[in-house]
Structure 1
Amino acid sequence: MPQLAVNVDHVATLRQARMGIEPEPVTAAYLAEMAGATGIIVHLREDRRHIQDRDVELIRKTCNTRLHLEMAATEEMQGIALGIDPEFVCLVPEKREELTTEGGLNCVGNEQRLKDFLAPLHAKGIRSSLFIDADPKQIEAARAIGTEYIEIHTGHYADAKEFNARNEELSKIIEGIRLAQGIGLKVNLGHGLNYRNILAFKDVPGIMEYSIGHSIMAKAIYVGLDRAVRDMAELVRSFAD
């Protein structure tokens, strides 16, 4: 059965807008778990624009499910991951000027560097994922790197305005899922998914996990976090295994 991991970054985004002490991402993580999330995601960016080091440390101490640490492939982040010991790390690209992650990690030509980067994490028992576009070359490179999981970037599909463009992006993702599964990779999906567009994957078998944050937090403004997470968790549980 596919699972739901909830990203609490945007709780920190709201807090950092005032540089205050609330809302508290740790509380959001706890409430998300109580409402049915099977994992908590935090992206510790190099510029610390939302999630802070103390957030990661506190959520690590209090997380009752699985902690997913999204991060860039830098020496600093590797050291933090080894110290925090999350269940998962997901390597993502970062650009200082972007509002949010705009595309997948470039694995092609970086296979050995990323393999070496992940080696000490794997040695400690931390599982890894690579956030990549549904590009056959990137998927093949991910296998060469030795990661167990990939997370296919669904943002281009989610952002497409025209029907044909959206269907084209959806077809690329579904083809990418099949290719990855065929070569032994486990597949997660994430970025831009909401309560409507996620339904396109209802009958796609073998998706391990959906990584969702923004749409859940947006709905939570109106109905509360408990209801927002429960509604998404119920949707995900109804999908094909």
Structure 2
Amino acid sequence: MPVLVVNVDHVATLRQQRFGIEPEPITAAHMAELAGARGIIMHLREDRRHIQDRDVELVSQCLNTRFHFEMAATEEMKEIALRINPYMICLVPEKREELTTEGGLAVAGREDVLREYLAPFHAAGIKSSLFIEADEKQIDASHACGAEYIELHTGHFADAKTPEKMQLERDKIIKGVAYAKRLGLKVNLGHGLNYTNVYEFANVPGISEYSIGHSIVSRAVLVGMDRAVREMKDIISTFAE
């Protein structure tokens, strides 16, 4: 059965609006864990716009579930990740001017560099994932890098303005899931998924995890973190394995 992994970055976004001490993403992470999330995601961006270094240090010490650390493929982030020892790292692209991650990592053509970059994580027993588009060239390249997982970018699907465009993007993702599974990769989905559009993947086999953050945090503002996580977990619990 696929599982829910909750991203708490936007709890930190709200905190950083006033550079204060609340709301606390560590508390949100614990509440999500108690509500049934199988993992917690934090993305420590190079510009530190939301999650801060102390957040990843603390959460790595006190979670009972899996900690997924999203990061750019830089030497600074490698050093931090190896120190905090998360369950998994996920390499994502970053641009300073973007509001949120806008697309997948360009892996094709960088296989040798990324394979070398990932080697210390594999030696330390840390699993690796690459956040990519549902494109066969990028999937092939991710497999060549030695990553155990890929996370397919669902943002274009989520942002689609017409049913036709949504169907087109959904079909690309479903095709990408099947192709990756044939290569032996484990597949996660993430970016822009919410309580409505996630149903589009209900009957798609081969998805390991759904990585969802903004939608859950947005609902939590109105109904509380516990209920928001449980409602999404209950939806995903009905999906195909």
Q: TM-score, normalised by structure 1?
A: 0.99
- Alignment of 1:124 with 2:124, yes or no, is yes
Aligned residue number for residue 72 of structure 2: 72
Aligned residue number for residue 41 of structure 2: 41
Q: Secondary structure at the match of 2:98?
A: coil
Q: Secondary structure at the match of 1:105?
A: coil
Deviation at 1:206, TM superposition (A): 1.4
State how far apart, in whole Å, the 2-side matches of 1:201 and 1:59 are. 30
- Alignment of 1:207 with 2:207, yes or no, is yes
Aligned residue number for residue 147 of structure 1: 147
Deviation at 1:44, TM superposition (A): 0.3
Which one-letter code corresponds to 1:139 in the other structure?
Answer: I
Deviation at 1:174, TM superposition (A): 0.4
Q: Deviations over 1:121-144 (max 9, x none)?
A: 100000000000001100000010
Q: Secondary structure at the match of 1:23?
A: coil
Total equivalences in the alignment? 241
Q: How does 1:61-140 map to 2 (within 5 A)?
A: 61-140=61-140
Q: Deviations over 1:79-137 (max 9, x none)?
A: 00000000000000000000000000000111010000000010000000000000110
State how far apart, in whole Å, the 2-side matches of 1:24 and 1:223 are. 17
Q: Secondary structure at the match of 1:68?
A: strand
Deviation at 1:6, TM superposition (A): 0.3
State how far apart, in whole Å, the 1-side matches of 2:165 and 2:232 are. 25
Say what the alpha-carbon RMSD is for the aligned residues.
0.4
State how far apart, in whole Å, the 2-side matches of 1:240 and 1:177 are. 13
State how far apart, in whole Å, the 1-side matches of 2:89 and 2:180 are. 19
Which one-letter code corresponds to 1:148 in the other structure?
Answer: E
State how far apart, in whole Å, the 2-side matches of 1:84 and 1:112 are. 25
State how far apart, in whole Å, the 2-side matches of 1:149 and 1:53 are. 25
State how far apart, in whole Å, the 1-side matches of 2:240 and 2:177 are. 14
Identity of aligned residues (%): 66
Q: How does 1:5-20 map to 2 (within 5 A)?
A: 5-20=5-20
Which one-letter code corresponds to 2:8 in the other structure?
Answer: V
Aligned residue number for residue 21 of structure 1: 21
Which one-letter code corresponds to 2:184 in the other structure?
Answer: G
Q: Secondary structure at the match of 2:89?
A: strand
Which one-letter code corresponds to 2:96 in the other structure?
Answer: R
State how far apart, in whole Å, the 2-side matches of 1:76 and 1:22 are. 27
Structure 1 stretches of at least 4 aligned residues deviating more than 6 Å after TM superposition: none
State how far apart, in whole Å, the 2-side matches of 1:59 and 1:49 are. 18
State how far apart, in whole Å, the 2-side matches of 1:113 and 1:21 are. 39
Which one-letter code corresponds to 1:214 in the other structure?
Answer: H
Deviation at 1:221, TM superposition (A): 1.2
Q: Secondary structure at the match of 2:178?
A: helix
Deviation at 1:222, TM superposition (A): 1.1
State how far apart, in whole Å, the 2-side matches of 1:217 and 1:143 are. 32
Q: Secondary structure at the match of 2:17?
A: helix
Which one-letter code corresponds to 2:99 in the other structure?
Answer: L
Aligned residue number for residue 224 of structure 2: 224
Which one-letter code corresponds to 1:128 in the other structure?
Answer: S
- Alignment of 1:158 with 2:158, yes or no, is yes
Q: Deviations over 1:131-170 (max 9, x none)?
A: 0000110000001001000000000000001111110000
Q: TM-score, normalised by structure 2?
A: 0.99
